[in-house]
Amino acid sequence: MESKPLELGLLRSFSPLDGLKAENLHRLARQATLRELGAGRQLFKEGDRDRRTFFLVSGVVELVHEGQTVLVIRGGSPEARNALGPGQPRRYGARVVSERIEYLSIDSDMLDVMLTWDQTGSYEVSELAQAGEDYVGSDDWMTTLLQTKALHRIPPANIQAIFMRMQRVEYRSGDIVIKQGDEGDYFYVIVKGKCAVTRETPLNRAGIRLAELSMGDTFGEEALISDAKRNANVTMLTDGTLMRLGKEDFRTLLNEPMLQWVDGDKAKAIVASGGVWLDVRLPSEFESHHLEGALNLPLYFIRLKLKSLDRNVHYVVCCDTGRRSSAGAYILSERGFHASVLRDGLNTLPPATKE
């Protein structure tokens, strides 16, 4: 199967690729491949666990379940905007019924990480609530950290371990703490000084100022949760002191205790008792299929739309795989919301539960 170079316009014709920022779409174009397959060939088989995402560009494919054709999809049709037979293991097989087809083949994990990175908001920061004048003036970083909502649901033994494993780092004005595009390595808490958050774009390499952070603010967690690259620069505006926690310690001591993972049956029971599905995928993905009664709040909007959520509601956060939803649930949990994460995502639920 011969591969061909890709055009961005072609990628934008599919969901959720159409929601990616231009720079990430360029990255995807270098990783995805356009291939051909002849009549009668199988693109994938029922039950496959191939970890690939396929989009039909041209030609005709039939989806087959237990030997019976359940759907015929033509390239360029509305049905072809979405991935062919998503979910692992495959619930359907896909067979070519036209003379040939052209299709996109993308590594599913890479696509999911890229979507998560793209949607982690306009900057990689979570500003934690401050607790009055004494908090602002305190020079005790342990007291500062304990007064943040992020630790309110952490087991006491974990808090002690966090204090023991955190490293104190002194910075000078102008020092770069996090560089956009780097791998995530640490979670940071500002205990003294101020930082600026900037994001580079193709039109502004110097960076657009997104936020100014001060004592008590934290940053860096989203790249650690989603296994994505840093999506912003963080630079010291003044001399200052930061406490940092390594990636694996963060996941074990801070991230995991704050995340409540639930399987499909438990999630449905929560919703039946008054909870709400909170789908953090892009609107185009949501429109393709979603759970009945679900609220769509894309991951990159969560910080901006917190006031629209009800603190008395138990939210079950979901996406295709659980990666984006875990990042979303962490943000909600550290802000005091009651949020659980659908384990392994929507792909694990039977088709009957979706619209």
Confidence of residue 122 (pLDDT cuts 50, 70, 90): very low
Distance CA(16)–CA(20), nearest Å, equals 7
Bigger pLDDT: 201 or 187?
A: 187
> Based on the number of CB atoms within 10 Å of its own CB, is 157 exposed (0-12), middle (13-18) or buried (19 or more)?
exposed
> In this predicted model, what pLDDT tens digit does every residue of 26-72 receive, in sequence order?
878 877 889 999 999 999 999 998 889 999 999 999 999 999 999 99
Look at residue 312 in the predicted model and tell me its pLDDT: 94
Percent of the chain clearing pLDDT 70 (strictly above): 84
- Average model confidence (pLDDT) across the chain: 82
Look at residue 150 in the predicted model and tell me its pLDDT: 61
Look at residue 146 in the predicted model and tell me its pLDDT: 60
Look at residue 208 in the predicted model and tell me its pLDDT: 81
Bigger pLDDT: 142 or 48?
A: 48
Which residues 6+ apart lie within 8 Å of 256 measured at CB?
none
Look at residue 139 in the predicted model and tell me its pLDDT: 40
**Mean per-residue pLDDT for 113-118?**
70
Does the pLDDT at position 173 exceed 70? yes
Look at residue 215 in the predicted model and tell me its pLDDT: 84
> In this predicted model, what pLDDT tens digit does every residue of 212-240 receive, in sequence order?
888 878 888 777 877 778 878 999 999 99
Confidence of residue 326 (pLDDT cuts 50, 70, 90): confident
Does the pLDDT at position 133 exceed 60? no
Does the pLDDT at position 256 exceed 80? no
Bigger pLDDT: 299 or 114?
A: 299
Which residues 6+ apart lie within 8 Å of 218 measured at CB?
125, 126, 127, 128, 148, 150, 187, 188, 189, 190
Confidence of residue 121 (pLDDT cuts 50, 70, 90): very low
Look at residue 23 in the predicted model and tell me its pLDDT: 73
Distance CA(189)–CA(257), nearest Å, equals 18
Q: Which domains does the chain have, with CATH numbers?
A: 8-117 (2.60.120.10), 120-257 (2.60.120.10), 259-353 (3.40.250.10)
Tokens of 153: 């649901």
> In this predicted model, what pLDDT tens digit does every residue of 10-27 receive, in sequence order?
999 999 998 888 877 887
Lowest mean pLDDT across 263-272, 282-291, 331-340: 331-340
Question: 237-247 burial, b if ≥16 CB within 10 A, otherwise e?
Answer: eeebbbbbbbb
Look at residue 53 in the predicted model and tell me its pLDDT: 93
Residue entry with tokens 């780097």:
182
Q: Which amino acid is at 321?
A: T
Look at residue 351 in the predicted model and tell me its pLDDT: 56
Confidence of residue 132 (pLDDT cuts 50, 70, 90): very low
Look at residue 248 in the predicted model and tell me its pLDDT: 87
The model carries a pTM of: 0.65
Does the pLDDT at position 140 exceed 50? yes
Does the pLDDT at position 202 exceed 60? yes
Does the pLDDT at position 136 exceed 50? no
Residue entry with tokens 């789908």:
279
Using DSSP's 3-state secondary structure scheme, residue 161 falls into helix
Q: How far, in Å, are 50, 52, 202, 216 from residue 32 at the CA level?
A: 15, 10, 21, 41
Bigger pLDDT: 200 or 94?
A: 94
